[in-house]
Structure 1
Amino acid sequence: MIQQTLTQLRELRLSGMANSLLSQIEQPATYEGLSFEERLQLLTDSEANDRENRKQQRLLKAAKLKLSAHARDIDYQHPRGLKQSVMASLLQCHWINKAQNLLITGPCGSGKTYLACALGETACLQGYSVKYYRISRLMLALTQAKADGSYSKALQNLAKIDCLIIDDWGLEPLTAAQRNDLMEIMDDRHEETSTIIMSQLPTDQWYQSIGDNTLADAILDRLMHNAHRIKLKGESMRKIQSNLTDGEHLE
């Protein structure tokens, strides 16, 4: 009968409950003193935890974060202008719940992508949907969506993401079509969902990088008016953390 119950639980996709029941069977001395209600509560708690863990893994897989970054590993000792109090607040993810944005600027190698991915991972663990794109890949995906007739659906999917991460903003000039795509994305997400932007360019150069004053005003107004900002500085962390000595570098 127990085996039949375990099979039925798994068929009903209650694997957490099934595993917990199996543990109770295999460790009778641990559980025999508990009441029926207490043992049932343990089963339901196990199922709830199992579902939460599976949801987190699904969100992390869907996010496709560029780096496996963790909040606990963020370096606050490197002199790059990163305030621990600011990160501590952002890692609470209240800004995502309020549909606010985050702009991270700084030189190449200052850790912009790592910070964004650490925030993305934390958001996934708290149940928010996240997706990482380099801006060139995002624009390419939308171009392909136009070609196969799925452009409207692609925009709808982007609009639903709780935290959209866009890397390498301003690295390459935008075409007219790409500027229009960005306008569509920012308009759909405005005050509905959150966006993280990373760029080597300071924000006062973003207007010029977009390339059209009218669209730049419209895009950046939606992006910047409720945005938190992190301005990193200093020498590249990649250079400092390099494991190669001068003698090991290939000529």
Structure 2
Amino acid sequence: MLNHELKALLTKLKLHGVVTSLSANIDAVYSNKINFEEALIDACNTELLIRNSRSVDRLIRGANLRYAHARIDDVNFEANRIGLTQQSINRFSECTWIHNHKNMNLLGSTGIGKTWLACAFATKACSKGYKTKFFKYFEFIALFEKAVDNTIDKQLIKKLMTFDLLIIDDFGLTSIPSAVEGILLDFIDNFSMQGSLLITSQFSYDIWYEKFNDPTIADAILDRIIHNSYTFEISGDSMRKIGSSDEIATL
């Protein structure tokens, strides 16, 4: 049994993984089944695993994902959809595209599972330590509308620069207000050099251009997004015909 004083000290130091591991191994140490160094290595590894798990959980909670339970391992490849392969999904789940500041765009009709897949990529990004944030399109544009004439809200926009991955879900449902276009261009121009965007949309790229008032700004913004992106064009049956997104792995 682990010494009570040692256990209390380790607990006070919040080394809960060390406590768990040593408690399980201490008898084996005393009986010479394993040496102390082996027990200590196992204790340190257990502590690191627990800390990493907590860190990932914090990142996922902070991402405010619509489907925080979504995981790449649960992608449904048996559904009748075109544009997804297990090979491509596994490739992008390595998150090298985020490391290289590339973007990803998921295009397809409503109900095809774009949002779920975006969240699955997001949880994978969190598991690799990437700071992530999920926005519905309306929420994202609203931030920039508030920031046009408000210094405090401009600071909120600057905080977005601290993220590694920003998800914009359902891009293009409405036109982008003309007052927002300038500040949005400035943000995309800066963010594209240090972060990645994951955008879902029901619309093809040519329709994206129509959502802007100023064609010059549209060209500048979308050039930075599209030409630096990997694109999944997904088609097939609506996953909502199969069941609730909360009940099944929709993508």
Deviation of 1:29 after TM superposition, in Å, equals 4.2
Q: Which moved more, 1:71-80 or 1:200-209?
A: 71-80
AA in 2 matched with 1:32: S
Once residues 189 and 19 of structure 2 are traced to their aligned partners in structure 1, the CA distance between those partners, rounded to angstroms, is 46
CA-CA distance at 1:18 after TM superposition: 2.3
Correspondence list, 1:124-143, <5 A: 124-143=126-145
- Given the superposition, is the C-alpha separation of residues 11 and 181 from structure 1 closer, same or farther in structure 2, using an over 3 Å criterion? farther
Instruction: Give the total of aligned pairs.
Output: 241
SS at match of 1:201: coil
Aligned to 2:19: 18
The correspondence of residues 63-142 of structure 1 with structure 2, limited to 5 A, is 63-67=63-67, 68-81=69-82, 82-142=84-144
Distance 2:151 2:4 in 1: 50
Does the 8 A contact of 2:22 with 2:40 survive in 1?
no
* TM-score normalised to structure 1 length: 0.87
How far does residue 171 in structure 1 lie from its aligned partner after superposition? 0.3
Matched to 1:178, the amino acid is: V
Shift of 1:83: 2.4
Alignment of 1:120-199 (within 5 A): 120-144=122-146, 149-199=151-201
- 2:207 matched to which residue of 1? 205
1:48 is matched with which residue? 48
Structure 2 SS opposite 1:150: helix
Give the structure 2 partner of residue 36 of structure 1. 36
Displacement over 3 Å in runs of 4+ = 29-32, 141-149, 240-243
Q: For residue 81 of structure 2, give the secondary structure of its aligned residue in structure 1.
A: coil
Deviation digits for residues 215-236 of structure 1 (CA, Å, limit 9, x no counterpart): 1111111111220000011232
Match of 1:227 in 2: 229
Mean alpha-carbon deviation: is it higher for 144-153 or for 7-16? 144-153
Contact 2:181 2:217 (8 Å CA) reproduced: yes
8 Å contact from structure 1 (residues 96, 193) kept in 2: yes
Q: Secondary structure at the match of 1:180?
A: helix
1:39 CA drift (Å): 1.4
Identity of aligned residues (%): 34
In 1, distance between residues paired with 2:9 and 2:169?
46
Contact 1:139 1:181 in 2 (8 A): no
Offset of residue 176 of structure 1: 1.8
Query: How far, CA to CA, are the matches of 1:229 and 1:6 in structure 2?
Result: 52
Residue of structure 1 equivalent to 2:249:
none
- Summarize deviations over 1:110-155 as a string: whole Å, max 9, x none: 1111111111111111221111100111222344566764334322
SS in 1 for 2:180: helix
Unmatched segments (≥5 aa) in structure 2: 246-251
- Unmatched segments (≥5 aa) in structure 1: 244-251
Contact 2:133 2:166 in 1 (8 A): yes
Tell me the C-alpha RMSD between the 2 structures.
2.2
The residue number in structure 1 matching 2:57 is 57
What TM-score results when the alignment is normalised by the length of structure 2? 0.87
CA distance in 2, matches of 1:12, 1:186: 43
